[in-house]
Amino acid sequence: MKIAVLGSGAWGTALAMLLQKNGHEVSLWSYCEEESNTLRERGENKMLPGVPLPKELTLTHREDIVAGCELAVFAPPSYAMRQTAQRVKPYLTPGTVLVTVAKGVEPRSGLRMSEILAEELPGYAVAALSGPSHAEEVAREMPTGCVAACPEIASRTAGWAWPSACTASPASRSVQSIFMNPSFRVYSSTDITGVELCGAAKNIIALAAGMAEGMGCGDNAKALMMSRALVELSSLIKAAGAQENTCFGLAGMGDMIVTCTSPHSRNHMAGVAIGRGEHVAGDLGERHAVVEGYYAAQSVTALAQKLGVHMPICECVYDILFNGKDPAAALTELMLRDKRSEF
């Protein structure tokens, strides 16, 4: 199968390597020629040190690489999803299946990544791949599990066929088969709304958990943040019309655990830095790694307010990032809220 991976960050690179190992003809697209040349000259991605790029992997900055592809994997930062879709639109082949692996909600529109693709590239089946999946580990073929989600109606519209006994959508089952191998297990789902909202919101929670760690609050505080955030997330996706149990799967609880606890997590480490009094915006300085939680704090908080969902942890993170609230004061505010039952 001919596949284009659009976005040569750590995650896009790791997935391109995985797909190439699975026997597909894979091209890895960079947003500019300089980035593509750097990858070619170094033979590895600087965010994945010690992991050589396969010689069979095509490196390019040309948008027409998507022509004739059966699958296009969109792996840019969430804020660049719309621009990436616009750049490749003239070259896409009808029938290409689109897979978003970016996690976020567009601030201006409140749209999820799959909705942006559907808006910019109408008529294509769109799936989302998400879950606890550090690029550093996937690139080194360490055991990982994700979920591929695509609504049933989108699959049927695009003409995908699958046995009627399957409960998942045909497109998500096809994506499942394309990505899955002995070190990368993929489950299928039709709840693309829940999967994408979980993926966006968990980055905000990782910032909160990191801030608690940076302030020296200990493991109890981190566990408190994560468990109560899961309740907030459950309320959000239920209000959005998604399946509540998605919160307790790989896209929700699974991704939250790894993002809130691992030193590989850029959002967690950004939170630690903030808790220590450092200033962090949308990237991690010299690593040039995007802190998606920074952008998600704006868009997810706005979406929650639109849906009438109270998300106190997410709201506090937003106030710390954009209104200058002191993290210690925000934590005290959370701890002293009105008494209530757990559920």
Per CATH, is 193-335 categorized as 1.10.1040.10?
yes
Residue 340 has pLDDT above 50, yes or no: yes
Residue 163's pLDDT is 34
CA–CA separation, 73 and 127 (whole Å): 9
Instruction: Give dist(CA 7, CA 112) in Å, integer.
Output: 18
CA 109 to each of CA 45, 105, 299, 300: distance values in angstroms, whole numbers, following the listed order: 32, 8, 9, 11
pLDDT at residue 68 greater than cutoff 90: yes
Query: Domain map of the chain by residue range?
Result: 2-190, 193-335
Q: Do domains 2-190 and 193-335 have the same CATH topology?
A: no
Q: Alpha-carbon distance 245 to 207, whole Å?
A: 23
From its phi and psi, is residue 291 left (phi > 0), alpha (psi between -120 and 50) or beta?
A: beta
Categorize the per-residue pLDDT at 156 as very low, low, confident or very high, splitting at 50, 70 and 90: very low
- What span, in angstroms and rounded, lies between the C-alpha atoms of 172 and 147? 9
Q: Which amino acid is at 35?
A: E
Q: Is 202 a catalytic residue?
A: yes
Residue 165 pLDDT > 80 = no
Mean pLDDT of the chain: 91
User: Can you tell me whether residue 278 is helix, strand or coil?
Assistant: coil
Mean pLDDT for 143-159 is 71
Q: pLDDT class for 264, splitting at 50, 70, 90?
A: confident
Residue-wise pLDDT for 173-203, tens only, equals: 789 999 999 999 999 999 999 999 999 999 9
User: Which residue among the candidates 202, 222, 306, 325 is catalytic per the annotation?
Assistant: 202
Q: What's the CATH number of domain 2-190, 1.10.3430.10, 3.40.50.720, 3.40.720.10, 3.40.50.970?
A: 3.40.50.720
pLDDT of res. 170: 59
Cα-Cα end-to-end distance for the chain: 48
> pTM to 2 decimals?
0.90
Q: Is the pLDDT of residue 268 over 80?
A: yes
Interval 57-84 mean pLDDT: 97
pLDDT in tens, 269-319: 999 999 999 987 655 544 456 788 998 999 999 999 999 999 999 999 999
Q: Which two tokens stand for residue 148?
A: 């591929």
